[in-house]
């Protein structure tokens, strides 16, 4: 008959064996992957966009039992977005979360057109696979050998200035301000339609240009970026939500062809989940950083969708001017689907 001490020792040994076996089973469930995919990003390692990429990788690993491993390479480790897109076409990079390099097809600037998204719930309709914009951007990308799978929505874009704007909601009124815009027709035309004079200044020089009076403000920044980069020079923030800042989730067509239908669905679902979560995150980040602006002494102006309608309509009125670059057929289709109602 076993003594109590011996029984306890054997029980302890059995418990250790069970624990070791459990660890073995857990590790074997995520044994050597059958496929390892390279996921290139342009945002810094500590940026929320990179965290979303890591979450996508984790979801795919869990749902495939570790058969598909996704390795995330942030901060342009695999090259800038133009080079990464070229490598997606070649199939030497498998996945990416990057800006669209429109030099491959100028029609892909479609996603940057101003005035077609009206609120966060509207963004969920537009930026998910059932939306017209998603389908059209996927069509344009697939013609180049790249599969669009989703978007990382960073936030809505407003106008930040060092001087007050005149009647900011009335596009017919000249605002009396010189505004820096990104070097793209879609931004220049929209800002001018809202009553601003425009200038293009390199991104790295924007802070000093505002500080020294070379320009009076900026368009093209979401709230978080405007606060983080320009918070010390901004005096006014007009939350006009006239455009939305986003990155594009894409998979090389050559990689996509190698996947089973079941794995394609798992990966697509992971990107769709990330897209929806990014929109919710953008809403909370916009609110958070506008509150920080107020605490810093920046005057923040927010508006209802109805109040913003004249701005959306003014932006939409510029769309025909994009026909030469994007084709009349595409802009007509875009207007039919997404013009302000």
- CATH number, domain containing residue 117: 3.40.190.170
Angle at 249 between CA 45 and CA 27, to 5 degrees: 65
Domain that holds residue 255: 32-338
pLDDT digits (tens, 9 = 90+) for 101-158: 999 999 999 999 999 998 999 999 999 999 999 999 999 999 999 999 999 999 999 9
pLDDT value, residue 21: 46
Q: In whole angstroms, what is the distance from residue 177 CA to residue 215 CA?
A: 8
Q: What is the mean pLDDT of residues 212-241?
A: 96
In a domain, 234, yes or no: yes
Do residues 155 and 244 make contact, with C-beta atoms less than 8 angstroms apart? yes
Under DSSP, the state recorded for 112 is G
In a domain, 50, yes or no: yes
Do residues 147 and 252 make contact, with C-beta atoms less than 8 angstroms apart? yes
- Kindly state the tokens that stand for 42: 């342009």
Q: In whole angstroms, what is the distance from residue 74 CA to residue 52 CA?
A: 11
In a domain, 100, yes or no: yes
The phi and psi torsions of 186 (rounded to 5 degrees) equal -60, -35
Q: What is the mean pLDDT of residues 243-272?
A: 97
Q: In whole angstroms, what is the distance from residue 61 CA to residue 59 CA?
A: 5
Packed helices 328-338 and 132-142: angle between N→C axes, nearest 10 degrees: 150
Q: Which of 158, 156, 155, 163 is nearest to 210 (CA)?
A: 163
In a domain, 1, yes or no: no
Q: In whole angstroms, what is the distance from residue 80 CA to residue 183 CA?
A: 18
In a domain, 65, yes or no: yes
Task: Lowest mean pLDDT of 21-25, 195-199, 207-211, name the range.
Answer: 21-25
Residue 151, CA distances (Å) to 43, 233, 244, 273 in order? 14, 31, 11, 10
In a domain, 273, yes or no: yes
pLDDT digits (tens, 9 = 90+) for 17-56: 444 444 444 444 566 899 999 999 999 999 999 999 999 9
Number of domains in the chain: 1
In a domain, 26, yes or no: no
Q: How many CB atoms lie within 10 A of CB 266?
A: 18
pLDDT digits (tens, 9 = 90+) for 268-293: 999 999 999 999 999 999 999 999 99
Under DSSP, the state recorded for 176 is -
Q: Which of 322, 258, 254 is nearest to 87 (CA)?
A: 254
pTM above 0.75, yes or no: yes
In a domain, 326, yes or no: yes
SS (H, E, C) 293-334: HHHHCCEEEECCHHHHHHHHHHHHCCHHHHHHHHCHHHHHHH
């Amino acid at each position: 008959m076993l003594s109590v001490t011996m029984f306890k020792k054997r029980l302890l040994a059995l418990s250790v064996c069970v624990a070791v076996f459990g660890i073995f089973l857990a590790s074997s469930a995520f044994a050597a992957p059958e496929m390892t995919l390279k996921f290139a990003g342009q945002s810094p390692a500590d940026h929320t966009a990179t965290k979303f990429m890591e979450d996508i990788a984790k979801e795919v690993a869990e749902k495939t039992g570790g058969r598909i491993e996704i390795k995330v390479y942030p901060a342009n480790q695999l090259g800038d977005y133009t080079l990464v897109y070229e490598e997606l076409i070649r199939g030497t990079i498998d996945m990416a979360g990057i800006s669209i390099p429109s030099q491959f097809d100028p029609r892909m600037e479609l996603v940057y057109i101003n005035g077609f998204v009206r609120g966060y719930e509207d963004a969920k309709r537009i930026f998910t696979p059932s939306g017209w914009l998603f389908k059209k951007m996927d069509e344009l990308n697939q013609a180049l050998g790249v599969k669009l799978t989703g978007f990382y929505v960073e936030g809505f874009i407003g106008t930040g200035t060092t001087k007050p704007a005149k009647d900011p909601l009335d596009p017919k009124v000249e605002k009396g301000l010189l505004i820096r815009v990104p070097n793209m027709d879609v931004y220049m035309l929209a800002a001018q339609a809202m009553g601003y004079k425009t200038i293009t200044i390199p991104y790295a020089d924007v802070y000093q240009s505002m500080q020294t009076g070379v320009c009076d403000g900026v368009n093209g920044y979401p709230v978080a970026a405007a606060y983080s980069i320009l918070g010390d020079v901004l005096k006014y923030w007009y939350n006009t939500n006239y455009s939305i800042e986003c990155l594009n989730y894409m998979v090389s067509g050559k990689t996509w062809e190698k996947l089973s239908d079941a794995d394609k669905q798992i990966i697509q679902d992971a990107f769709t989940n990330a897209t929806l979560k990014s929109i919710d995150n953008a809403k909370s980040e916009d609110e958070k950083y506008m509150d920080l602006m107020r605490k810093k002494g920046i005057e923040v102006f927010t508006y209802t969708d109805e109040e913003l309608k004249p701005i959306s309509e003014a932006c939409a009125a510029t769309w025909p001017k994009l026909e030469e670059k994007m084709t009349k057929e595409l802009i007509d289709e875009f207007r039919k689907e997404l013009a302000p109602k």
